[in-house]
Amino acid sequence: MTAFNSAARAYARYRPQYPMALFAGLAEHTGLDGTQTVLDLGCGPGTLTLPLAALAAHVHAVDIEPAMLAEGRALAAAEGIENVTWTAADAANLPGLPLPPLDLCVMGKSFQWMDQPRLLADLDRLLTPTGTVVLISTAARSTASRPDWLDVVETVCTDFLGPDYLQANNPAAHPAEGRDEVLRTSPFSQLRTQIWEQRLTRTLDELVGLQLSFAHTNPAVLGDRQEAFEQALRDALTAHNPAGAFKSTVPIEAVFATRP
């Protein structure tokens, strides 16, 4: 069981989908044309997997958390997507999986949870000579684009879980911290970066549900305080914005890493 076991349902329901421009960019930069074999590593409930399935011959979706895979399988079945293999495995055990040669490996907000140098060395053996590693995450947000409701959420989280709640159940670093340096010393040292601005408007229910999808505020972390937490968050957000439309602009960043 991982930090995302109890978060899986909320993750599948409340995490935003990636913008379609991202997938157009993936196709443009990697040549996806429906013939490739793709690995989505740390796939969660298939946020990247399911859209990629329309662009690839087959997608291997791998995640350490079975609850996430269960959500992904259900979503794939509901959409009639059949060209995905769902596998429960730790990234450290990747070489032992029955994977064919891979044309592309994508990771969406998962690279920071892994032994990065070891993983990149393993991918060097698994990816075809022209294969690409793509790391996708939220980029650093400018001060100007920080939504005002985020202060409200952080205040409620701190009240319930203490000032160090973000560090207690998260990796030490933001997904982008140290990432490029690791890539430049790996076999995939040639980098290209692209950023898309994603504009979101969430309802009160969606914003509260979103908090349950995070490692630091999931139901397991909140325990018997979950109901009180949700109510306190609803009250605080409603007082902040009675209209109930919570807007934000999120920069989505993809780093395309290839061999020189």
Place of tokens 């990432």: 179
**pTM of the model as a whole:** 0.93
The predicted pLDDT at position 3 comes to: 73
The predicted pLDDT at position 173 comes to: 58
Beta strand pairing call for 190-202 and 102-108: unpaired
* Tokens matching residue 10: 């909320």
The predicted pLDDT at position 172 comes to: 52
The predicted pLDDT at position 194 comes to: 96
The predicted pLDDT at position 56 comes to: 98
Closest CA to 1 of 120, 119, 169, 138: 169
* Euclidean distance between CA atoms 85 and 9, whole angstroms: 20
Please provide the distance, in angstroms rounded to a whole number, between the alpha carbons at the two ends of the chain.
38
The predicted pLDDT at position 189 comes to: 98
The predicted pLDDT at position 225 comes to: 97
* Euclidean distance between CA atoms 209 and 211, whole angstroms: 5
The predicted pLDDT at position 174 comes to: 64
The one-digit pLDDT tens for each residue of the chain (260 residues) are 677 899 999 999 999 999 999 999 999 999 999 999 999 999 999 999 999 999 999 999 999 999 999 999 999 999 999 999 999 999 999 999 999 999 999 999 999 889 999 999 999 999 999 999 999 998 876 655 789 999 999 999 999 999 989 877 766 556 667 889 999 999 999 999 999 999 999 999 999 999 999 989 999 999 999 999 999 999 999 999 999 999 999 999 999 999 99
